[in-house]
Structure 1
Amino acid sequence: MSAPPEQKRLKGITLPPSGWTLAILLALYIFTGLIGHDPWKNDDAVTIGVVHDLVRNGHWLTLSLAGTPYPDAPLHYWVAGATGHLFAWLLPLHEAARLASGAFTLLALAFIYLAARELHGREQAPAAPLLLAGSIGFLFHAHEAQPMLATLTAHTAAYWGLAQLNRRALRGACCFGAALGLGFLANGLAPMLPLLPVAAFAAWYSGDRQRALLMLLGSLLVAALLAGAWLGPLLLGAPDFLAAFWQGELALLRGGDQPLLNLMRLLGLLPWYAWPALPLAGWALWAKRRQLRTLPMALPVLAFLLTLLTIITYLGARSATALLLLPPLVLLAVPGVSSLRRGAANAFDWFNMITFSFFALLAWIGWSALVFDWPEKLGQQARQLEPGFVGQFNLFSSAFAVLGTLIWCWLIATSPRSPMRGIMHWMAGLTLFWLLIATLWMPWIDYGKTYRPVSAALAKALPEKRACIASLNLADSLLASFDYFDGIRTLSLSSRAGMNCDLLLTHGAPSPAGWQKVWEGGRPGDRRNNDKLQLYRRDVDTADRDQPGGAQQ
């Protein structure tokens, strides 16, 4: 006698995943790792530095970094500043600011689901957020303070609007126009350019072309109004900042001089960055080759090619800009999930279960080495990489990691047979691995990546009485970190004011003539001289010679 349906459902989740199952998995994926560590070098530190300046000084119209104007589009910084202010009672600013990245990521996954539902139907739509969140490159940027996430959200919303242009032209055009305007506020004009010919293509495919084109022209007005809400006050209140912003935009639009090199870099990046969306998109192209002229297939193909052209021509082949290639790849890959042959689907599923179970085991063994010094040799290697680190047992983090591991074991043992089981196991396994890294390994990773101790040592080395600090070869992320941690600000050595400073801070630069080194420091893993920071004091004899009427040789 077969069990009633209620009892069968208790054995495991249903596939395709229901709304609540999908929402819980994605929320766990998104918000794990946003907190619990300091700002890290590059985009994370720079973004938090700008937000810190914004919240502290209240200059929401114009952005600045460590006291210096930072002409960039403001949307992500505004949202991060808002979350930083709202959650200041609970979290430090850098962690509260990263919640904005979580919000944009959540919206991007929601919009890509809606776009896939319009293009491919309700049954296949859950594969879209699983594929986007499961892309390896997306994992890294979704958990840092990253302005490109706001642009990614705008792209996914735009695809949703264009996908419904034939069925609900007014709502689709309004959604597209809002996405276009907010995307400009997120990262400027260049990242939004590929959406314009894609929109014209979608209107041409519409049953009523004339009406669709008129709606899209109206959507441009919506976009212009949203952009003007910032540009207008900027023109009246800070024309110099606006001029610098447009100068940067025009420099991008003039294009780079290495498009072929950028293309080669992206082609080398995408096989792992866009896994598993890329191979599934390739399979969908082959399996649905007779449907390539239909909108569900043609729109993502065109969007991918135009976005690729924009990146290699204007934006540069960086990991952050490659995020914009993921939505069209995902929309193309969705039908590839359901059409994958049984043997390939089973092989993909077994690969996922074995791979992430193995990675989970490695994560636990590595944690044991960090905290309990077992295995001993592995613990010694970890301490050699980050000298001075002392692992400590945290009951809450360990319990959370155990719970995640048990849920993974339950999931792979009870998931029913379905074409979507492979991608579900991939996404769940990736979430488990990220959860284990965030709960077990984060103290060790943060110890090696944070500049907080370096900033504190630098602040201690600075004399109480000083005129100013000049800087040479300091990246924006370092300027942001020192300002955020200890309020240390510098002036560029090439500026008129910086040339008169009595202190000089350098990073990996040769010893300058006429300066005496008073301090050197770096993170525990910074062993090369190029990785370390040096603080110099102006040589007294040189300073006297440079003064009018000083000693002559």
Structure 2
Amino acid sequence: MNQPTPAIVAQAGVKRLPRLALLLFCLAYLLPGFLGRAPWKRDDIATFGYMAELARGATDWWHPVLGGMAPEVDALLPYWLGAWAIQLAPAWLAPDLASRLPFMGLLVLALVGTWYGTYYLARSPMAQPVAFAFGGEARPTDYARAIADGGLLAFIACLGLAQLAHETTPALTQLCFTALLFYAMAALPYRPVAPGVCAAVALMGLTLSGAPFMALFLALGGTAIYLLAPPAEGSPKKWHASSLALMALGCALLASYLHLWHWRIDLPQAKLAEWQGLGRLFLWFTWPAWPLAVWTLWRWRRQVFSARFTGLHLWLPIWFVAVASVATLTTRSADRSLLLALPALAALAAFALPTLSRSVGALIDWFTLIFFTGSALVIWVVWISMQTGFPAKPAANVARLAPGFVHSFSLAPFLVALAASMVWAWLVKWRVDRHQAAIWKSVVLPAGGAALSWLLLMTLWLPLLDFARSHAPMVRLVTSAMPASPGCVATLGLQRSQIAAFQFHSQLQLQALGSHNTCDWLIADIDAARQRPDVSASPTWHLTRSVGHPAERKDSIWLYERRLPPPPAPPAATEKQD
């Protein structure tokens, strides 16, 4: 017998996940990575550099520059948020921590948007479970809440979310507004006012965060989906589609006025290695959501390929995933583009939960248990080795990969990591109990394992990660060869992240090297210096030191000191001839 929907769920299967437990779980995933660390290399520290320049009034708010260079991403809102936070923060709060506060709120909005977007999709009539002959099937609201809990857990479980969602970069603002737009489109047929406002805010936020094309295509795709959906699908009306189209037009005009349209298409080359790299990115970055999403498309294929287009709860997340996937394949920042697919991909994964057999759920649990327990053990063993020297090999590997790193013991991170490990053990015991019937149970261990691994890394390994992933060690090596107050320091060929690192970690007064520069010191990129004979072969500039990051095993910066050439020797005196 063909069922109208593959979801067969009794009321006992939609047991509510305790709200306090869900809140604490989200906080355990949210806070590590924002608190206690230094700004990391490249995008994280570079974005902070623009925020600091805006906060101290050193650049134009509409055209921020750092070291004379515009940002790589044509965004404005991320830099504004960080700069405003720095200006409003009290004096005792470090600027880098202050700049992260609004981004913590953005991640919270991404989590909330994913939950509510999945919830309203699950409220769709075609997403509801099969009605039993004598009653007892899951009630619509309880069923939608259970699916939303599963979607949120699947979102947190995605391996690619951890690092990029905890960096102060435009990628996080784009993720937040994508999740907010996903919620707005899912909820617009049910609550037109609040979702309509959220859709406008999300589209404007995406435009000001450097993704106007994403905003335009997502809005136009949502318009088409609403126009094609039958009235039974949450009762979408034509004015929903019209409002999305008008919002898309407004964002296009805003992007044109601010000159945010830039052609950044970079098609992959016809090389096997490049395509293999993209394939590996899709596999691990979206794990474990993508196998569940594929299972959803298979089990719900009747709704997906229906001639009457009855699968609104499936086609909306499919469109979001498709747009982000195309952007991943056609842009250089593939991981940051794929990040925008995770909220919708998690929603697709959630609809697989009521269709999983017991054997498939057990396979997911055992694989997750082995993988994340093994990861936690590796983190603990390496930390113990760095503390005690036993076993000796992990500590030797750390010393080889990060020469100069000195580990120290901190009580608070140790206690947090120990408590998280004990909670993981309790969670595993809870999951193996046979009486658990909630449909979200299969994603509890993947989400808990991802949160555990991230928390252990951000507590036990945080000093090591700060040493390896920040520019601070390189800055210390350079400044140790300079006097305490060197005055102005010229720069040549430095990257945005390096300029921001020198300004933040050493408070140097940097100036781009020019013909009228009178600085006594010069920090130059090696390749840039070699191309300037007036620097590398000049008697004025004396090469003092060649340095690089200790963990990268290569020198990348030359430090020069200005030395005046010695005065010419006076002509030899000649004896007076009679």
- The reply on whether 1:506 has 2:524 as its aligned counterpart is yes
Whole-angstrom CA distance in 2 between matches of 1:288 and 1:58: 55
**1:285 maps to what in 2?**
297
Q: 1:301 aligns with which of 318, 340, 354?
A: 318
**1:550 maps to what in 2?**
none
The 3 A distance-change label for structure 1 pair 422 and 69 is: same
**2:441 maps to what in 1?**
421
Counterpart code for 1:68: G
SS in 1 for 2:492: strand
**2:155 maps to what in 1?**
132
Between stretches 23-32 and 67-76, larger displacement belongs to: 67-76
Q: 2:408 aligns with which of 368, 392, 395?
A: 392
- The reply on whether 1:411 has 2:439 as its aligned counterpart is no
**1:484 maps to what in 2?**
504
The 3 A distance-change label for structure 1 pair 175 and 543 is: farther
Counterpart code for 2:554: R
Whole-angstrom CA distance in 2 between matches of 1:124 and 1:341: 16
Counterpart code for 1:516: H
**1:31 maps to what in 2?**
31
1:119 is displaced (CA, Å) by: 0.5
Whole-angstrom CA distance in 2 between matches of 1:264 and 1:251: 28
Is residue 325–residue 337 contact of structure 2 (8 Å, CA) maintained in 1?
A: no
Which structure 2 residues correspond to residues 162-177 of structure 1 after superposition, within 5 A? 162-177=185-200
Tell me the alpha carbon deviations over residues 24-56 of structure 1, each in whole angstroms, 9 at most, x when there is no partner. Answer: 101110111212221111111111111221222
Whole-angstrom CA distance in 1 between matches of 2:60 and 2:157: 34
Is residue 60–residue 78 contact of structure 1 (8 Å, CA) maintained in 2?
A: no
Whole-angstrom CA distance in 2 between matches of 1:335 and 1:542: 78
**2:490 maps to what in 1?**
469
Whole-angstrom CA distance in 2 between matches of 1:352 and 1:125: 21
- The reply on whether 1:75 has 2:77 as its aligned counterpart is yes
Is residue 165–residue 206 contact of structure 1 (8 Å, CA) maintained in 2?
A: no
Is residue 80–residue 100 contact of structure 1 (8 Å, CA) maintained in 2?
A: yes
SS in 2 for 1:455: helix
The 3 A distance-change label for structure 1 pair 127 and 449 is: same
The 3 A distance-change label for structure 1 pair 15 and 447 is: farther
Is residue 490–residue 519 contact of structure 2 (8 Å, CA) maintained in 1?
A: yes
The 3 A distance-change label for structure 1 pair 497 and 31 is: farther
Whole-angstrom CA distance in 1 between matches of 2:68 and 2:338: 28
- The reply on whether 1:198 has 2:229 as its aligned counterpart is no
Whole-angstrom CA distance in 1 between matches of 2:317 and 2:250: 24
Whole-angstrom CA distance in 2 between matches of 1:251 and 1:224: 12
- The reply on whether 1:266 has 2:278 as its aligned counterpart is yes
Between stretches 196-205 and 402-411, larger displacement belongs to: 196-205
Counterpart code for 1:483: Q
Q: State the identity %.
A: 26
Q: 1:516 aligns with which of 529, 537, 542?
A: 542
**2:119 maps to what in 1?**
117
The 3 A distance-change label for structure 1 pair 377 and 209 is: closer
The 3 A distance-change label for structure 1 pair 66 and 88 is: farther
The 3 A distance-change label for structure 1 pair 149 and 206 is: farther
- The reply on whether 1:452 has 2:472 as its aligned counterpart is yes
- The reply on whether 1:214 has 2:234 as its aligned counterpart is no
Counterpart code for 2:299: A
1:70 is displaced (CA, Å) by: 3.0
Tell me the alpha carbon deviations over residues 92-143 of structure 1, each in whole angstroms, 9 at most, x when there is no partner. Answer: 2212322332211110010011110010122211112211121111111112
Is residue 216–residue 248 contact of structure 2 (8 Å, CA) maintained in 1?
A: no
Between stretches 367-376 and 216-225, larger displacement belongs to: 216-225
**1:180 maps to what in 2?**
203
Is residue 37–residue 462 contact of structure 2 (8 Å, CA) maintained in 1?
A: yes
**1:535 maps to what in 2?**
559
Counterpart code for 2:525: H
Is residue 260–residue 312 contact of structure 1 (8 Å, CA) maintained in 2?
A: no
Is residue 62–residue 69 contact of structure 1 (8 Å, CA) maintained in 2?
A: no
Equivalent residues, number? 507
Counterpart code for 1:162: M
**2:349 maps to what in 1?**
333
SS in 1 for 2:439: coil
Whole-angstrom CA distance in 2 between matches of 1:309 and 1:221: 22
Counterpart code for 1:505: I
Q: 1:431 aligns with which of 448, 451, 455?
A: 451
1:82 is displaced (CA, Å) by: 3.6
Is residue 16–residue 420 contact of structure 1 (8 Å, CA) maintained in 2?
A: no
SS in 1 for 2:397: helix
1:383 is displaced (CA, Å) by: 1.8
SS in 1 for 2:147: coil
SS in 1 for 2:146: coil
**2:164 maps to what in 1?**
141
Is residue 398–residue 440 contact of structure 1 (8 Å, CA) maintained in 2?
A: yes
The 3 A distance-change label for structure 1 pair 542 and 303 is: farther
1:280 is displaced (CA, Å) by: 0.7
Is residue 220–residue 244 contact of structure 2 (8 Å, CA) maintained in 1?
A: no
SS in 1 for 2:161: helix
1:524 is displaced (CA, Å) by: 2.4
The 3 A distance-change label for structure 1 pair 543 and 150 is: farther
TM-score (norm. length: structure 2): 0.80
1:257 is displaced (CA, Å) by: 5.0
Is residue 324–residue 337 contact of structure 2 (8 Å, CA) maintained in 1?
A: no
Structure 2: which 5+ residue stretches go unaligned? 1-13, 123-143, 531-535, 569-578
Between stretches 377-386 and 420-429, larger displacement belongs to: 377-386
The 3 A distance-change label for structure 1 pair 543 and 508 is: farther
Whole-angstrom CA distance in 2 between matches of 1:483 and 1:475: 13
1:87 is displaced (CA, Å) by: 4.5
1:358 is displaced (CA, Å) by: 2.0
Whole-angstrom CA distance in 2 between matches of 1:192 and 1:425: 34
Larger of the two Rg values belongs to structure? 2
Structure 1: which 5+ residue stretches go unaligned? 1-13, 233-241, 545-553
- The reply on whether 1:361 has 2:380 as its aligned counterpart is no
The two structures, once aligned, show a CA RMSD in angstroms of 3.1
Is residue 185–residue 199 contact of structure 2 (8 Å, CA) maintained in 1?
A: yes
The 3 A distance-change label for structure 1 pair 504 and 326 is: same
Between stretches 93-102 and 62-71, larger displacement belongs to: 62-71
Q: Higher helix fraction: Structure 1 or Structure 2? A: 1
**1:152 maps to what in 2?**
175
Tell me the alpha carbon deviations over residues 173-193 of structure 1, each in whole angstroms, 9 at most, x when there is no partner. Answer: 332122101221222423323
The 3 A distance-change label for structure 1 pair 489 and 187 is: farther
Is residue 161–residue 172 contact of structure 1 (8 Å, CA) maintained in 2?
A: yes
Counterpart code for 2:490: I
Counterpart code for 2:168: A
